[in-house]
Amino acid sequence: MKTVLTLFLLLSLVSYTSAQEAKPVRVIVFGAHPDDCDLGAGGLAALYSSMGHKVKFVSLTNGDMGHQEMGGGELANRRLKEAKEAGKRLGIEYDVLDNHDGELLPTLENRMQVIRKIREWQADLVIAPRTNDYHPDHRNTGILVQDAAYLVIVPNILSNVPPLTKNPVFLYFRDRFQRPNPFRPDIAIDITSVIANKVDELDAHVSQFYEWLPWTSQDLQNVPKDLAERKKWLRTAIEKRSSVTPEIRLALDKWYGTDKASSIKLVEVFEICEYGKQPTQEDIRTLFPMLPNL
């Protein structure tokens, strides 16, 4: 009888452990505009999606100002359709909030929107831009997510939505800004295997990558007219944006080991926010199951 009971307990423990290991990681990514999340974490989202984990992108504005020839409701509707198509291509959810582009402020109302999204998604990991950036909407997105980082666990804040029982890990996207402090590449993820997926997803944002952004950089004349050629053109730009610097190489060595890291060419990189849960190396490997076990 004791042998049977012991066997039963062992099998129960194995089943429980397997269930815990099988639990999907839940990731929510905030951007100021439709396409911001995609640029910062499209490759990471593709990796999570392919492994059965859950990702939601949230744009805090509707992007209704980001074009040289159209705007208002017409542009907002177009960008919403582009975002939904991008999400479909990645196999993730994509929400676009109806706040005006160029007017996002760190108000109490917007903070509550962010808290609600994080709680409803039951997020383990939250990613957003840093607060030093060229665009006020980007900066204020960072502030809003920072302001939510503790409050998501406070029951009396937004009491009609159950609080999280544990604080998520909060991360920042990679950026190029140096002041008041440069981006720190804490976690580097190899996206080489999914770069085509990321480009395909970005390709859905036609109004941005083939019209608005080239216009702002006075490069519109160089966008190919042929659909296949312009996608190749976009891939070249994204590969350049995903390149490995000496600082990032150190992070790759840490997470992939020196041998594997030496062959990695394309990355997405994240900085750990001082707010929210402060993860151990074991936590990071659990949250990023695409990293190898060293």
Confidence of residue 221 (pLDDT cuts 50, 70, 90): very high
Query: Domain with 174 in it: what CATH number?
Result: 3.40.50.10320
**What is the tally of structural domains in the chain?**
1
- Over residues 108-121, the mean pLDDT reads 98
Q: What is the pLDDT of residues 139-149, one digit of tens each?
A: 999 999 999 99
Q: What is the pLDDT of residues 170-215, one digit of tens each?
A: 999 999 999 999 999 999 999 999 999 999 999 999 999 999 999 9
Residue 239 within a domain? yes
Taking 50 as the threshold, does the pLDDT of residue 29 lie above it? yes
Residue 59 within a domain? yes
Residue 195's pLDDT is 98
Taking 60 as the threshold, does the pLDDT of residue 21 lie above it? no
Residue 8 within a domain? no
Residue 257's pLDDT is 98
Residue 6 within a domain? no
Residue 49 within a domain? yes
3-state secondary structure string across the chain: CHHHHHHHHHHHHHHHHHHHHHCCCEEEEEECCCCHHHHHHHHHHHHHHHCCCEEEEEECCCCCCCCCCCCHHHHHHHHHHHHHHHHHHHCCEEEECCCCCCCCCCCHHHHHHHHHHHHHHCCCEEEECCCCCCCHHHHHHHHHHHHHHHHCCCCCCCCCCCCCCCCCEEEEECCCCCCCCCCCCCEEEECHHHHHHHHHHHHCCHHHHHHHHHHHCCCHHHCCCCHHHHHHHHHHHHHHHCCCCHHHHHHHHHHHCHHHHCCCCCEEEEEEEEEECCCCHHHHHHHCCCCCCC
Domain housing 154: 25-286
Residue 20 within a domain? no
Q: What is the pLDDT of residues 62-102, one digit of tens each?
A: 999 999 999 999 999 999 999 999 999 999 999 999 999 99
The average confidence (pLDDT) of the chain is 94
Residue 32 within a domain? yes
Residue 112 within a domain? yes
